[in-house]
Amino acid sequence: MTLKIFLSRDAAAKALGVDDVADAITREAAARGVQVTLVRPGSRGMIWLEPLAEVETPQGRMAFGPMTAADVPGLFGDLSAHPKAQGLTEEIPFFKSQTRLTFARCGVIDPLSLADYEAHGGLAGLGRALAMTGAEIVAEVTESGLRGRGGAGFPTGIKWKTVADAVADRKYIVCNADEGDSATFADRMLMEGDPFTLIEGMAIAGIATGATKGYVYLRSEYPDAVEVMNAAVRIGREAGLLGASVLGSNRAFDMEIRVGAGAYVCGEETSLLNSLEGKRGIVRAKPPLPALEGFLGKPTVVNNVISLASVPVILGKGAKHYKDFGLGRSRGTIPLQIAGNVKHGGLYEIAFGLTLGEIVDTIGGGTASGRPVKAVQVGGPLGAYFPRALFDTPFGYEEFAGKDGLVGHAGLTIFDDSTDMLKMARFAMEFCAVESCGKCTPCRVGAVRGVEVVDRIAAGDPTAVPILKDLCNTMKFGSLCALGGFTPYPVMSALTHFPDDFSGSATGAKEAAE
């Protein structure tokens, strides 16, 4: 008898002890004299079931989780009687109800097997791109409606066109893998679970724009992703996917992985470029646009991991296939990252358009603590806190902007009713103060002042509330980048939607906050 077992290698699975489960499987197999093939794919995204083991059966992969070493012997017996049995993985409602385009292979294939990648549709997009002109590729990406998944939502095809039309001796593709937002891990999961998709997307971007060199700026907080990406680039080079002749064509494209150094602001594209050049991560004034004068002054595409990783499926299946999903001007799918105090946390890829309430209550299943949901922060540390009253907001760029919020990188942090929203507002200011690049006063000084003002409110000084509002206004309109400019979102949303938490010990503060 031989058994084929899939066990995630994703950092979240590792953080929950998957390697102990792997050891136990190897030991148990040896003790029983059973042949086991252990495959280590990325994560299926159901983090609450990690460590998730999947056993291959004629019906499909059977899921077991969350696994501990003690649950391992049961995998060698009657599977249906296993106490951690979850049924067929792809029939689990959280998984089944998704539309997986960008993450189609994540959790399914061995991330470092190029053969596995191709067998599951990999390289189809690049193959098609190699038969097209750069302008045709750019047109296809524009037609798909893909917008930047890094936060700003800028149309990817239009950015590519600017770089394609620029005349220069060298152009670059820079992948923004700084993913600093709390509640986001889509970039990490993709890089750990399907790195060739990102490589393929970057190669297509290079061919479309005439760039021959790519960099992935990957945050140092992701050691596992760094390891997988480096290995994948090496394998890609050996296989001729990267190099002087991409897949045997007359196009050249090669890339390198560069590791960040723990500065949140380096996720901002111009700060990132400075950092990549070996400078301090200070934000650059725009213009010039990076598309015209980017890395080392050359035309540069800066795109988020998910933007680039969505390109292969767009090219592979055609712009229309992608564009037909979505809502309004938010086309295609978005990998929601459901995090924080939530029962079913993880990555959920779906067309734009679900309401916030559906995401939090139906898919997320409410809080992990079992207490009522108080607030959901959408879009990371610069995103607004949404109260239940706004749970009917559909997930889309314009729809969230219309409620004074943002989609950002599509991370959602769920908080239960024990949360003190004044404390969260204070944290937003503190975070901005710690991470400010220091270039402009409203951000550098304003954030420090912001912490002080929130402390005054906490101490019961109602006159500090209008000061906080003024300060937010100054930061919003006087900051060069979104770190200073968007910190008012979490602060003002907390103040607006949860005024009771700002009433301090004094009466009257509540009215002042309205």
149 binds, among ligand SF4, another protein, ligand FMN, none (CB under 5 to 8 A by kind): ligand FMN
Residue 263 touching ligand FMN (CB under 6 A): no
Q: Which of 176, 479, 493, 503 binds ligand SF4 (CB under 6 A)?
A: 479
CB of 179 or CB of 200, closer to ligand SF4: 179
H or E element that contains 15? helix 11-15
Residue 497 touching ligand SF4 (CB under 6 A): no
340 binds, among ligand FMN, ligand SF4, another protein, none (CB under 5 to 8 A by kind): another protein
CB of 193 or CB of 267, closer to ligand FMN: 267
- Give the start-end residues of each E strand in 344-486: 346-351, 373-378, 385-386, 411-416
Residue with tokens 């409602």: 93
Integer Cα distance of 173 and 508 in angstroms: 54
- At position 170, the amino acid (one-letter code) is R
Stretch of residues binding ligand FMN (CB under 6 A), selected from 4-12, 176-184, 317-325, 367-375: 176-184
Minimum CB separation of residue 172 from ligand SF4 in Å reads 22
CB of 194 or CB of 269, closer to ligand FMN: 269
Integer Cα distance of 178 and 158 in angstroms: 23
Residue 146 touching ligand SF4 (CB under 6 A): no
Give the list of residues 6+ apart from residue 471 with CB closer than 8 angstroms, or none. 446, 449, 450, 453
Residue 265 touching ligand FMN (CB under 6 A): yes
Stretch of residues binding ligand SF4 (CB under 6 A), selected from 128-136, 330-338, 339-347, 480-488: 480-488
Helices (H) and strands (E) in the chain, counts: 22, 16
Residue 148 touching ligand FMN (CB under 6 A): yes
Q: DSSP class of residue 461?
A: -
Integer Cα distance of 438 and 484 in angstroms: 10
Integer Cα distance of 327 and 363 in angstroms: 19
Which x/- pattern, by CB under 8 A, does the window 367-396 give for another protein? -x--------x---x---------------
- At position 483, the amino acid (one-letter code) is L
The CA-based dihedral angle spanning residues 103, 104, 110, 111, taken in that order and rounded to the nearest 10 degrees: -30
Which x/- pattern, by CB under 6 A, does the window 295-334 give for ligand FMN? -------xxx--x---------------------------
Contact 90, 60 (CB under 8 A): yes
Q: Is 160 helix (H, G, I), strand (E, B) or coil?
A: helix
Q: Which of 336, 443, 464, 472 binds ligand SF4 (CB under 6 A)?
A: 443
Residue 16 touching another protein (CB under 8 A): yes
Stretch of residues binding another protein (CB under 8 A), selected from 112-120, 344-352, 476-484, 506-514: 344-352
Q: Is 452 helix (H, G, I), strand (E, B) or coil?
A: helix
Minimum CB separation of residue 331 from ligand FMN in Å reads 14
Binding site for ligand SF4 (CB under 6 A): 265, 283, 436-440, 443-444, 479-481, 483-484
